[in-house]
Each structure stands twice: as structure tokens, then as C-alpha cells.
Amino acid sequence: MRSLVTFLGSRLLRALVALWLVSTVVFVVMRLSGDPVPLLLPPDAPRSEYARVARELGLDRPLPVQYAVFLGNVLRGDFGRSLHFREPAMQVVVAYLPATLELGLTAFVLAVVVAVPIGLLSAVKRNSMLDQAAMGVALVGQAAPTFFLGILFILLLSLQAGWLP
């Protein structure tokens, strides 16, 4: 029993460290990407307006203070506002979650329906043409960048075949 508690404790600690590292990377990348204030204001806005918006967003504070506020907000479940949609970020995520889950579930079901029979046939007929072809397709699928495969499937299924809008 003690070893299970130790194991779970170490896993929990690793998960917390991983979450902290990811949140730190997100914070740093967001700060390195530039000042968001010009995206929120028209180009002809006066400097005083830039300063006011920067103060409202907390961008006039030192980076360590900004990071502490960021972590505190995340721990409370406040992920800030989307600059693109001008809504709370969590609201945007929740709004798009059903479509994301539908796409993910469809892809999973399709992968299982296609991959399991091919895998079974490949196992039964080892080193056959089918086995070699399945292995080749699987290797290409694993090696190719996902953005490239996504664009390729959009071109094939939507533009060429006309199956998708």
C-alpha cells in the first residue's frame, strides 16, 4: 500500500511540475509575441489611450508581477480574454468544444473501423502485399507532419472529391 501511495504521489508531483512548466512556457510565448495593445486599438489612437489599455491589461507592471497575476488567475479558472473574439477565453473554448469533440470522435471511430480490420488482416497474412502496404501507409502517416496531412486531405476530400463543403 505504501508503494502505491508513493507512486501516486510522485506522479501527482510530476503532473504539477509539467503543468507549471507548460503555464510558464505559455506566459513567456505570449509575452515574446509582442504588445497586444496595438491589436485592440485603431492605428490613429492617441498614446494616452495605448497607456490606458496597457494599464487595464496589467502590461505596465514588471514581468514577475505579471506572471504572478497570470498564475493566480489560472488557478482561479480565469484564463483571460481572447484578443480575437474579445470574449473570455474559456467561453470561446466551451463554444467550440462540441465541434472539436465531434471531429475527434469521428476521427477515432473512423480510425478504429479502418485500422483494426487492416491490422488483423496484416497479422493473419504476415509479409504479404497487404501487410507491406499497411506498414508503408502507417509509417508515412506517422512520419508526415500533421499540418501537411490535414492540407492534403482537405485538397483530396473537399476540392477533388467534393465530399466536404
Distance between alpha carbon 102 and the CA centroid of its chain, in Å?
Answer: 16
Tell me the average pLDDT of the chain.
88
Q: In DSSP terms, which residues pair with 122 in a beta bridge?
A: none
Residues 6+ apart with CB under 8 A from 38: 50
> CA-to-CA distance for 57 and 38, rounded, in angstroms?
13
Report the alpha-carbon angle 14-16-22, nearest 5: 100
Q: Is 127 helix (H, G, I), strand (E, B) or coil?
A: coil
The total of other beta-carbon atoms located within 10 Å of residue 70's CB is: 20
Query: pLDDT tens digits for 62-89?
Result: 989 999 999 999 889 888 888 778 889 8
Q: Is the pTM of this model over 0.85?
A: no
Can you read off the three cell numbers belonging to residue 144? Answer: 508526415
Position 33 confidence tier, pLDDT thresholds 50, 70, 90: confident
DSSP code at position 158: I
Q: What is the grid cell recorded at 132?
A: 507491406
Predicted confidence at residue 59, as pLDDT, reads 85
Say which amino acid occupies 70. Answer: F
| pLDDT over threshold 90, residue 42 | no
What is the reported pLDDT for 18? 96
Average pLDDT (50-54) is 86
Per residue in 121-137, pLDDT tens?
899 989 999 899 999 98
State the pLDDT at residue 30.
84
Return the C-alpha cell found at 79. Answer: 484564463
Least confident among 103-117, 118-132, 144-158 = 144-158
Q: Can you give the residue ranges of every domain in the chain?
A: 2-88, 93-160
pLDDT in tens, 89-112: 899 999 999 988 998 898 899 889
**pLDDT for 94:** 93
